[in-house]
Structure 1
Amino acid sequence: MANDLIPFTGDRLSQARAFTGLSDEALRVRAVTAARDKDFDALWNLTQAYLLSDTSSGVRLSPHTLRAYRKGVEVLVGHAHEQAWNLLHPGRREPGMFVASLTASGLTPATVMARVAAASALYRALRWAGATDADPFADVKRPKDRTKGIVKNPPYRADVVQAMLAESDAQERVLLLLMAHAGLRIAEALAVRWEDLDLPARRLRVVHGKGDKSRVVPLSARLRDALTTLRAETTSVGGHLTTFRAYSSAYERLQKVALKAGVAHEFRGFHAGRKYAGTQLYAATKDFTRVAGFLGHEQVDTTRRYVEVPEDDLNDVVEGFR
């Protein structure tokens, strides 16, 4: 995981200002030079500056999203080197061949789409810098994944969650429950501060969710107990709940927990915990709209991909048909 870390040379706004502070001509020249030389570091820095300064999410883009964009730009630049692309003026058929090569390499449709999204972001950055008018991926067909996400990456089973909780320390237990009971994304869970909690009212305010949207989620009794235990072990009264803040650190810690619990083969990262929360809530409410609000989804159709509905869910209803 360490190779996926994004080099940090200051706060995000400072990184963006290294480009936005340039004159239009200086920015264009820098972008043209980077594209001509197929200089990955320079092209990624340009893309990151664009993403941080000229998109709706801006400086609140999650580290996970930035890692995905960085990897996609790296893959495109490597392909451009191998195929002797002119990045500023790519051939009409070259983008389609790039997508075809990704698919042929065995990548899943979801990963291919993520790589194409990053490539598109690079070209938006180049247009933003005035280096080109090219938009080569605008009409490229993306592969469609016919397998539902809930099938490919289903929620954790209850016994897996319980086994991991039994082997967790206070911080790891809180992190697990923030996802499996409160339905938080990993970036949201790692960002929670003590002042975001209202234990007497049994609620947590997610201050900066995806798209910089805030929401309030209820806290289960078990999560409140875990938070109380963690608070008793914590010397500072403010700050973040966990001493580790990086995605990679959290992943490694929970992966070790799964190994100790004997469920390493079941460990699938963080999203399966969030799906566990959504599935549990839907089983209790039978209401996708309420689950969508709980998970912080704008569209109920997104929520449907997070909830595992039993195949026999309608058996009792159909039984009474007249």
Structure 2
Amino acid sequence: MPERIPEDQNLTLDLYRGDLLALTKLWTGLHDDELKRRAVKAAGEKDITALVSLTTAYLGHAGGSGVLTSPHTVLAYERGVRQFLTWATNQAVGLLRPGRHDAQSYVNALLAAGRAPSGVSLRVAAASCLYRALRWAGATEARPFEDVRVPKDPTPGLVKRPPYTEDDLHDVLKVADGQARFLILLISHAGLRISEALALKWPDIDEAARRLTVTSGKGRKARIVAMSTSLARASRDYRAIYGPGGTEQTDGQRTTTLDHVFRFSDTETARYHIVKAFKLGGVKFRGFHPGRKYAGTKLLTQIKDFGRVAAHLGHESVDTTRKGYAALPVDDLKSDLSGW
């Protein structure tokens, strides 16, 4: 018997603890007429919880990655859909029959509020996904975001969010505990995304060969990443304490070590540990990405090859690396031209 959504069920979304397939089935288990009826009702009432749930079900069932869509992506769309629906409610926008100028008005409102074009583009993507979900449910044929225009941001990503400096990392690493030091080096030397670092398992790391295997990269792509000497040593030290057969003690008992390298798996807990290290080092924490940008910029300065840097960072396109993660010094050709 297919699963049904009770009329009074509160469709709360807890994607880190929930199951995307199960949430998808709440909607796909409905008869087409009932699916349409509930989607129309939710849109008419601007029921944010139900519409977020519908959008997530669409992502899990008919989105590009289906049930393999990452929690980070799903949560980003959740935030974007909520923000659009809040604006639409305040502006009395009819969701099923939006006005010709409503979508562009939303974009303009975000820009006027000081949102960066890149952030506006993400919110447009979320709102567009909401409408794909409504069309999927048969509730509307509206495509209000197809022709909206978001201006390009002329400021390079490295200028808006520059990498950490050598001194920044030196000051932090000298005071960080073993766990924070290892995580920081995974990001700033191996260039791992925080999600990739937290997904590492002990068999993925080979300190002797100075390489690690990322098995859960963006787009579910695996890659081999070279480890710096400092990272390999930090990994060895960390493994001695927390790895299989390590020496960590809890209440006089040896703690059972799980396969995963880190004892936490969510970004917020990782942020808590890293922020402590940055505060001790007297450095402002600006997120995890400036660490990846440090890896990209330092490596590019050494090897001057965008393709190899892109491979190290796990970028599918060299343009991604060039635009936001690595840049050569403005006087990079000075030594090459000195003999002219």
TM-score normalised by the shorter chain: which range applies? over 0.9
Q: Specify the structure having the higher radius of gyration (Cα).
A: 2
* Cα drift, residue 200 of structure 1: 2.5
Percent of residue pairs identical: 50
Partner of 1:155: 163
- Where 1:88 maps in the other structure, the secondary structure is coil
- Bigger drift between 226-235 and 152-161 goes to 226-235
1:10-37 Cα offsets, whole Å, 9 max, x none, are 2222222222222222222221111111
- Where 1:217 maps in the other structure, the secondary structure is strand
- The answer as to whether partners of 1:9 and 1:15 remain within 8 angstroms in 2 is no
* Cα drift, residue 158 of structure 1: 0.9
- The answer as to whether partners of 2:190 and 2:295 remain within 8 angstroms in 1 is yes
- Where 2:225 maps in the other structure, the secondary structure is strand
Matched, 1:318 2:337: yes
- Where 2:311 maps in the other structure, the secondary structure is helix
Instruction: Tell me, in whole angstroms, the C-alpha distance in 2 between the residues paired with 1:146 and 1:121.
Output: 26
Partner of 1:244: 264
- Where 1:272 maps in the other structure, the secondary structure is helix
Normalised by the length of structure 2, the TM-score is: 0.88
Residue identity in the other structure for 2:180: E
Matched, 1:123 2:118: no
- Where 2:148 maps in the other structure, the secondary structure is coil
Correspondence 1:105-254 to 2 at 5 A: 105-234=113-242, 235-236=255-256, 238-254=258-274
Partner of 2:112: 104
Residue identity in the other structure for 1:88: L
- The answer as to whether partners of 1:154 and 1:308 remain within 8 angstroms in 2 is no
Correspondence 1:34-113 to 2 at 5 A: 34-113=42-121
* Cα drift, residue 100 of structure 1: 0.7
Residue identity in the other structure for 2:328: V
Residue identity in the other structure for 2:278: A
* Cα drift, residue 272 of structure 1: 0.5
- Where 1:216 maps in the other structure, the secondary structure is strand
* Cα drift, residue 301 of structure 1: 0.8
Instruction: Tell me, in whole angstroms, the C-alpha distance in 1 between the residues paired with 2:109 and 2:290.
Output: 29
Partner of 2:251: none
Residue identity in the other structure for 1:243: R
- Where 2:97 maps in the other structure, the secondary structure is coil
* Cα drift, residue 52 of structure 1: 2.1
- Bigger drift between 24-33 and 104-113 goes to 24-33
Q: How many corresponding residue pairs?
A: 315
Correspondence 1:274-289 to 2 at 5 A: 274-289=292-307
Taking a change above 3 Å as real, the CA distance of residues 196 and 26 of structure 1, as seen in their structure-2 partners, is farther
Partner of 2:288: 270
1:111-151 Cα offsets, whole Å, 9 max, x none, are 11111111111111111222111111000001211100011
- Where 1:192 maps in the other structure, the secondary structure is coil
Partner of 2:40: 32
1:42-93 Cα offsets, whole Å, 9 max, x none, are 1111111111222233334333323321221111101111111110110111
Matched, 1:261 2:281: yes
Normalised by the length of structure 1, the TM-score is: 0.93
Runs of 5+ unmatched residues, structure 1: none
- The answer as to whether partners of 2:27 and 2:54 remain within 8 angstroms in 1 is yes
- Where 1:226 maps in the other structure, the secondary structure is helix
* Cα drift, residue 9 of structure 1: 5.4
RMSD across aligned positions (CA): 1.7
Taking a change above 3 Å as real, the CA distance of residues 23 and 169 of structure 1, as seen in their structure-2 partners, is farther
- The answer as to whether partners of 2:207 and 2:233 remain within 8 angstroms in 1 is no
Q: Which has the higher contact order (CA 8 A, sep 6+)?
A: 1
Instruction: Tell me, in whole angstroms, the C-alpha distance in 1 between the residues paired with 2:29 and 2:221.
Output: 29
Instruction: Tell me, in whole angstroms, the C-alpha distance in 2 between the residues paired with 1:163 and 1:154.
Output: 17
- The answer as to whether partners of 2:16 and 2:71 remain within 8 angstroms in 1 is no
Instruction: Tell me, in whole angstroms, the C-alpha distance in 2 between the residues paired with 1:163 and 1:11.
Output: 41
* Cα drift, residue 99 of structure 1: 0.6
1:16 to 24, 30, 39: 24
- Where 1:182 maps in the other structure, the secondary structure is coil
1:208-252 Cα offsets, whole Å, 9 max, x none, are 211111111011121111111111212445421111211112122
In terms of fraction of residues, the more helix-rich structure is 1
- The answer as to whether partners of 1:195 and 1:238 remain within 8 angstroms in 2 is no
